[in-house]
């Protein structure tokens, strides 16, 4: 399950020439790096029963899972609330002179979904490092609070999660330059992994895939490969995830959000240690 076909892997990495240095030698070798290419996300919505094409964002990402990435981003931004808001999702090449994007994703909304084209007039950019940058306001995540208590987890089980996720991080094993977001059930079984050069993109891909599959995220546990920023915590809360674990450190605002919305937040999770920043009631001693 942790392997990909050569064709799939080739589409997500690039071969480069590098000079490898050791204490005594310098050698020229070929190496692989993670691809980073632009993706255009477009809405097809209805205004007064007439279809309107609305450019939403241009994001730099690792190719693959583009439909899930688009749906996850739209969900986290509060534009859609479920797959009931979506008619279909189309993917098309957009290699034209005036729009040199590798891929364009168009999400067709049902006519009952309210969308104001003026709110996208700024056509905010989204980079692989920051999520959506320069937006004027954040979605109201309070309206998406889950009534679920969330899973409880034993410390002995927590220690096993990073290794389980690494086994499915195929791109990271090849390049060393990829982030991941992994979803576990309450028993510690790995349900799905998403990888991308951007931390936010990886989480958007994971949320989008769960949205399509109808996975109940309030009963799941999220493991992030890097640090936890405000934006990542906001996306997790919008998706009703109650347990957020990370290999890296959380930011102060991420901790504040976790405390405010009763999310269990763990940082520096290794095979033998971790820090609990919020929601310690869900952590059970072994």
* Average of per-residue pLDDT values in the chain: 83
Q: What is the pLDDT of residue 129?
A: 54
Residue 260 and residue 105: Cα distance in Å, rounded? 35
pLDDT category, 125, cuts 50, 70, 90? Answer: low
Return the higher-pLDDT residue of 53 and 117.
53
Share of the chain above pLDDT 70, in %: 81
Residue 160 has pLDDT above 80, yes or no: yes
Return the higher-pLDDT residue of 33 and 163.
163
Q: What is the pLDDT of residue 1?
A: 37
Task: Provide the whole-model pTM.
Answer: 0.83
Short-list 221, 250, 218, CA closest to 158: 221
Q: Which residues of 201-217 are buried (b: 16+ CB within 10 A; e: fewer)?
A: bbbbbbbbbbbeeebeb
Express each pLDDT in 67-93 by its tens digit: 999 999 999 888 999 999 999 999 987
- Find all residues with CB under 8 Å of 206, minimum gap 6, and list them: 68, 72, 181, 182, 183, 192, 193, 194, 222
Give the neighbor-by-neighbor strand order of the sheet with 221-224: 190-196, 179-184, 221-224, 243-246, 264-267, 275-278
pLDDT category, 50, cuts 50, 70, 90? Answer: confident
Torsion of CA 55, 56, 62, 67, to 10 degrees: -90
Residue 183 has pLDDT above 90, yes or no: yes
Q: What is the pLDDT of residue 15?
A: 80
**Residue 52: in which H helix or E strand, if any?**
strand 50-61
Return the higher-pLDDT residue of 138 and 196.
196
Short-list 48, 102, 56, CA closest to 76: 56
Lowest-pLDDT range, 18-22, 105-109, 192-196, 227-231? Answer: 18-22
Residues noted as catalytic: 130
Q: What is the pLDDT of residue 136?
A: 32
Q: Rounded to whole angstroms, what are the CA distances from 127 to 14, 40, 130, 171, 251?
A: 19, 12, 6, 19, 19
Return the higher-pLDDT residue of 285 and 233.
233
Residue 156 and residue 263: Cα distance in Å, rounded? 20
Lowest-pLDDT range, 36-45, 87-96, 262-271? Answer: 87-96
pLDDT category, 150, cuts 50, 70, 90? Answer: confident
Q: What is the pLDDT of residue 188?
A: 95
Dihedral of alpha carbons 169, 173, 175, 179, sign:
positive
**For residues 93-113, average pLDDT:** 76
pLDDT category, 19, cuts 50, 70, 90? Answer: confident
Residue 17 has pLDDT above 50, yes or no: yes
Residue 21 has pLDDT above 70, yes or no: no
Q: What is the pLDDT of residue 14?
A: 78
Residue 192 and residue 99: Cα distance in Å, rounded? 33
């Amino acid at each position: 399950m942790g392997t990909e076909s050569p064709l799939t892997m080739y589409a997500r990495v690039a071969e480069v020439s590098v000079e490898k240095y050791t204490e005594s030698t310098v050698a020229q070798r070929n190496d692989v790096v993670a691809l980073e290419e632009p993706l255009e996300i477009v809405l097809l919505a209805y205004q007064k029963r007439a279809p309107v094409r609305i450019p939403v964002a241009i994001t730099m990402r690792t190719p693959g899972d583009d439909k899930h990435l688009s749906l996850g981003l739209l969900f986290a931004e509060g534009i859609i609330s479920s797959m009931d808001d979506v008619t279909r999702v189309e993917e098309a090449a957009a290699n034209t002179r005036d729009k040199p994007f590798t891929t364009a994703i168009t999400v067709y909304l049902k006519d009952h979904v309210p969308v104001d084209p003026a709110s996208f007039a700024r056509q905010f950019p989204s980079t692989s490092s920051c999520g959506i940058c320069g937006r004027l306001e954040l979605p109201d995540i309070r309206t998406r609070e889950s009534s679920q208590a969330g899973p409880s987890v034993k410390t002995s089980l927590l220690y096993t999660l990073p290794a389980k996720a690494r086994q499915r991080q195929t791109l990271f094993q090849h390049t060393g330059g990829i982030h991941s977001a992994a979803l576990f059930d309450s028993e510690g079984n790995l349900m799905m992994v998403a990888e991308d050069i951007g931390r936010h993109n990886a989480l958007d891909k994971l949320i989008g895939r769960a949205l399509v599959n109808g996975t109940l995220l309030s009963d799941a546990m999220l493991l992030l490969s890097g640090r936890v920023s405000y934006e990542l915590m906001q996306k997790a809360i919008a998706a009703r995830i109650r347990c957020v674990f990370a290999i890296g450190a959380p930011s102060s605002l991420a901790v504040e959000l976790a405390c405010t919305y009763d999310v269990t937040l763990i940082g520096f999770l290794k095979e033998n240690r971790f820090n609990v920043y919020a929601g310690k009631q869900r952590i059970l001693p072994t």
